[in-house]
Structure formats: structure tokens, C-alpha cells
Amino acid sequence: MAIIGGGVIAMEFSHVFASAGVDLTVIEMGDRLLANEDLDSSKSIGEISKELGIEVLLNSKVKKVTKGENGKTVEVETPEGNKTIQVDEVLLAAGRVPNVGGLELEQIGVKVEKTGIQVNEYLQTTVEHIYAGGDGIGGYMLTPVASYEGRIAAKNAIENNIEKVDYSLVTRTTFTHPPVASIGLTEQEAIEKGMEINSNRLDFADVGPAVVLGETRGFVKLISDKKSKHLIGAHIVGPRAEELIHEIAIAMKGKLTITDLSEIISIHPSISEAVIGTAISADKGYQESCCG
């Protein structure tokens, strides 16, 4: 199989198929997989994908796909030159766009752009009494985010714009093997914003319970403001990442500092030790593999 794209959908399906023994190639136009994630997460999932036997072609572009009697031929332009791949199936996973064309919203004055229905910070469309949320307005296009937007849109429609939408604490996970989870700013985004930050990472290979479970791939990475010590982002690749990220989301919502998080006494043995261990490493200046 050939999978066109290197984003969330492409990587989730590639890991599912690879785990089932499918010989496959991922073709991505950009210079890394999961381009919206932190650079360390992208690198880690790229290495793990190769360990699973997935061939990854970066900076590559599909020029042509033809169907023959014995499958499909994919012609790819790569940095090393043109390449031809023979496969049984091709999965196009290069992203999604809102499917709102058939609603004819423009006829009633609701402005629609390529990215979806145009809304303001109250999820109000260009028609004053019409609000919108969910995949139709683009953005994160995640089920929990759609539910959140629905609540905000309904509240503002009924109570006349009393709450602005806030995406600063959106948790997100790519369900690869192991999963990739994140919240807040990536290290690169923080640097681009001119922020002075501390970035600390603890590998699961240094976390006892992860070793016992045989789940040593990946890491926990915490990003904090250098002066205030407030958490501004977190990135996890590894076992139960989709669960661990909620601990950090609660800490960020409560405006806890990296010191506050480091003072929590974690259960031993537990995978959560990785989160607290990373905070201790960040706050105390030495690597803490477990327990505090």
C-alpha cells in the first residue's frame, strides 16, 4: 500500500496497516511527519515508523497514479530522483476540508472560505443571528472541540455573545503505536513568538514502569516560561500518552508552575511518573527517573 500524506490520518492508518503486516510507503510533501507537532515528536514518530517497517519518503510529491491489471503504479518525485512504486492500494490522506458546499450559505449572506464557514471569536457568522461550530468552520476538526464549540455557539446565540472561544487548552492525540499527544505551544512556536523558555524531556526508557511494560519508546517533554515557570506546552510520545496529557492540561488550566507540578508525589509504579519526573528534572536541575 502507498499512503499519500504524513499528517494525523496518514500516520494513524499507516501504523494500523503496518501492525497487520502490510508492506507500505508513506509519501509526504513536507520535510517531516506530523508537521503540526513539536519537532521532537515528529522525529520520534518518524524513527518508530521506520522500525515498524514503513518506508517514509519526505520532501516527495506524487506525480501520477495509474491502475493496471496487477494493482496500481505510483510515480513519485523524490529528492533522490523519480521513483516508481507498485502497490495493491493507494490511500489518499492528505487532509480534509469542510463539506459545506451544498448548504448554499452564501445565498443568505453567510461567508464561506476555503477553510470553512467564517466565524468571529464568538462563533458568530457574517449573519448576526447565525452561529456555527464543528468541522464546518475548519480549525482543529476534532470531536471534543466540535462539542465545545457547539456549547459556546449555543450560549452566545441565546445570551448575546457572552463568551469567547478559547483554543489554548485543546489536547490532541494521534493514535499511532505508541500515540503522540500534545497541548499548547511547541518549542518552535514559543521560540518564534520570542519567548524565553525552558524545555525539559524525560525518555520512557528511563522510567521504570515503562521498562517493565516493555513500552520504552518515546518521551515526555514539558515547555515552561523561563521567568514565571508556568507551563505553556507539553508533548508526549509513548504509552498512554492520550491519558497523561490530561494531567498537564489540568495543570495549565490551574496556572500551575513547573515547581508546583514537581511537588506532586506520584504513584509508584505508574506511567504517570514520567510526567512528574520530567517536572522534577526541569525544576531541580537533575534527571529524575521515578518517584521523586
268 carries an active-site annotation: yes
**Residue of 124, 126, 148, 121 whose CA lies nearest to 135:** 148
The distance from CA 28 to its chain's CA centroid, rounded to whole angstroms, is: 16
230, 235, 246, 268: which one is catalytic?
268
Bridge partners for 257 per DSSP = 230
User: Mind telling me the catalytic residues?
Assistant: 268
